[in-house]
Amino acid sequence: MDNNIVVKPEVILFDLDGTLIDTADEIVDAVNDAVAPLTNGELLDHGLVKSWIGNGARVLFSSALRHCGIAEDDLETEFAARWDDFHRFYGERCGTNSQLYSDVSNCLEALIAHNYRLGIVTNKERAFAVKAIKQHKIENFFEILLAGDTLPVKKPDPQMLWVTIEQLSVESSKVLFVGDSMVDVATGAAAGVRTWALRHGYHHGAFEQPLSPKQQPERFLNSFAEMQELLV
């Protein structure tokens, strides 16, 4: 598509972590809280923990346990023993050391004022996602939230977008999905939904590398201010 031409959608669906809210610091905090007994209090590297973000808390915490030396044969048992602690720690941390990306609130307000319907599709567990958006006072912008524990699957499975679109009773051709990672781009491609990618967030450097045509989003965005200018 010519990047100078913007076909405006009716519905805009957003990823959450790394797209709307920079949550990395509080996720790292919670992981370190939970694995402290395994590391004698030594903190895990911030960049390493951040590299695990994107596939939901369960996958992230499993990665942390592996890094702390838990063998695969013991992983299920250790996970079960420590998950409630991690869940509690992250529940306490959620919204305490995170921030909206620049111009998010202004952009969402402008989109609502121009009659766009907005939703969130995230791999974050629902309890965490709801707390995060409430803490940052953006919950009233969104008509729907599909979370990482809503379905048996997570992104990049296209069911995440298909179910959301079905619940909104809208044609997929009238939907735009906005994310920050290759998981989001792959989800949009698999679902046949237009996808834009923000250059901030947790793409782990993937957007700085050459991408095949199938990996390319329709458009890259540098900011929410740019998104607002394009759509409003």
Active site residues: 15
Residues sharing a CB contact under 8 Å with residue 182, sequence separation 6 or more, in sequence order: 203, 206, 207, 215
What is the bridge-based pairing of β-strands 219-221 and 194-198?
parallel
Q: What does DSSP say about strands 21-22 and 99-100: parallel, antiparallel, or unpaired?
A: antiparallel
| Closest residue by Cα to residue 46 from 96, 91, 97 | 97
**Pairwise CA distance, residues 16 & 21, whole Å:** 6
Q: How far apart (Å, rounded) are the C-alpha atoms in residues 109 and 28?
A: 30
Cα distance between residue 20 and residue 96, in whole Å: 15
Instruction: Tell which residue, 199, 207, 216, has the closest CA to residue 18.
Output: 199
Angle at 175 between CA 172 and CA 95, to 5 degrees: 130
